[in-house]
């Protein structure tokens, strides 16, 4: 067990723990904070796996953008979830059972496919570091070559624009809206 392993297991525990918290805390704001925690630790995992750029994006965009947005929304809708009652115990149990069964399913699939755990020809860590680096990713993203991602990249940018416009138009206050808050 080397230091990487130790770091990995510690990080994994952190991810799992905050994930469990994120789904089990009833308070929405708390759950959002737990989610933020989980995403942070995932960014750490990405660093461990030499995907530095992904980690950076994770922190900057995901946490800095999305989760903050979630938090804003929670604050905007003001009631912080109090009015939403707790689920019926049977439903909670069912959800647990479902999740466990699903987890079992995933693990079983993993088990069935364990053949991939043959030792692969490991690329050199340096090469990996370069691959996860900004330069390589940038080249790939904007390359028009057959293995490039130029077209998807452009489409995603379009999609983002569309989402932006859509979000604004949906969330916009309609003219003559009398007020806010649930009835």
Partner 1 sequence: MNLTACLVLAALVFACGVFGMLRNRHIINILISIELMLNAVMINFIAFAHFRAADPTAGSVFVIFIIALTSAEMAVALAVVIALYRQRHPLDVERMKRLHG
Partner 2 sequence: MADPATSWAIAHSWLTLALPLAAFLVNGLALGRRAPRAAAAVAVLANFAAAVVALLVARDYFAAAHPAPLLAWSFPWLELPHFAGGLMLGIGCWLDPIAVMMLVLITVISTLVHLYAAGYLRGDPGFGRFFALLPFFAFAMTGLVIAPDLVQLYIFWELVGLASYLLIGFWYTKPAAVEASKKAFIITRFADAFFLIGIVLVATALGTVQFAAVNAPAAGAALAASPVVFGGHSCSLLALAAVLLFAGAWGKSAMFPLHVWLPDAMEGPTPVSSIIHSATMVVAGVYLTARLFPLFAAAGSALFLAETLGAFTALFAAVMACVQTDIKRVLAYSTLSQLGFMMFALGVADPAAPAGYTASMFHVFTHAFFKSMLFLCAGILIHAAHTNDLLGMGGLRRKLPVTHAATLIGCLALAGIWPLSGFFSKDAILASAWTAGRPWIFAVGLATSLLTAFYMARFYLLAFHGASRAAGRDAHAHEDLLMALPVALLAVPSAAAGWFAEKYFAQHMLPPGLHTAEHAAHAPWVPWLALGAAVAGILYAAWRYGRGFIPSAPKNPAVRLAWNRFYVDELWQVFAHWLMFTLVAAPAKWFDSVVIDGSLDASAWVMQKLGAAQRAWQNGLVQRYLAAMLVGLLALWLLGGLAK
Residues numbered 111 to 170 that lie near partner 1 (CB under 8 A) are 114, 116-117, 120, 123, 127-128, 131-132, 136-137, 140-141, 147, 149, 152, 156, 159-160, 162-164, 166-168, 170
Which residue, 97 or 167, is less far from partner 2 as judged by CB? 97
Q: How far is CA 41 from CA 49, 65, 111, in A?
A: 12, 16, 26
Minimum distance from residue 104 beta carbon to partner 2 (Å): 9
Q: Using CA atoms, how far apart are residues 35 and 67, in angstroms rounded to an integer? A: 8
Q: Using CA atoms, how far apart are residues 6 and 108, in angstroms rounded to an integer? A: 26
Q: How far is CA 133 from CA 26, 32, 63, 138, in A?
A: 39, 30, 20, 9
Minimum distance from residue 144 beta carbon to partner 1 (Å): 15
- For residue 70, the partner it binds in partner 1, partner 2, none, with Cβ less than 5 to 8 A by kind, is partner 1
For binding to partner 2 (CB under 8 A), which residues are involved? Answer: 94, 98, 101-102, 105, 108
């Amino acid at each position: 067990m080397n230091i990487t392993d130790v770091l990995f297991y510690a990080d994994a525990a952190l991810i799992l723990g905050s994930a469990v918290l994120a789904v089990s805390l009833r308070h929405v704001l708390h759950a959002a904070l737990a989610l933020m925690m989980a995403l942070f630790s995932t960014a750490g995992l990405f660093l461990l796996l030499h995907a530095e750029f992904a980690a950076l994006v994770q922190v900057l965009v995901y946490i800095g953008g999305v989760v903050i947005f979630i938090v804003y929304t929670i604050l905007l809708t003001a009631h912080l979830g109090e009015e939403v009652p707790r689920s019926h115990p049977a439903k909670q149990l069912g959800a647990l059972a479902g999740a466990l069964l699903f987890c079992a399913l995933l693990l079983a699939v993993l088990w069935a496919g364990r053949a991939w755990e043959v030792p692969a020809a490991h690329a050199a860590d340096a090469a990996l570091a370069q691959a996860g680096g900004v330069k390589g990713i940038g080249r790939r993203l904007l390359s028009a070559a057959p293995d490039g991602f130029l077209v998807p990249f452009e489409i995603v940018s379009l999609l983002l624009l569309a989402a932006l416009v859509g979000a604004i138009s949906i969330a916009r206050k309609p003219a003559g809206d009398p007020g806010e808050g649930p009835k």
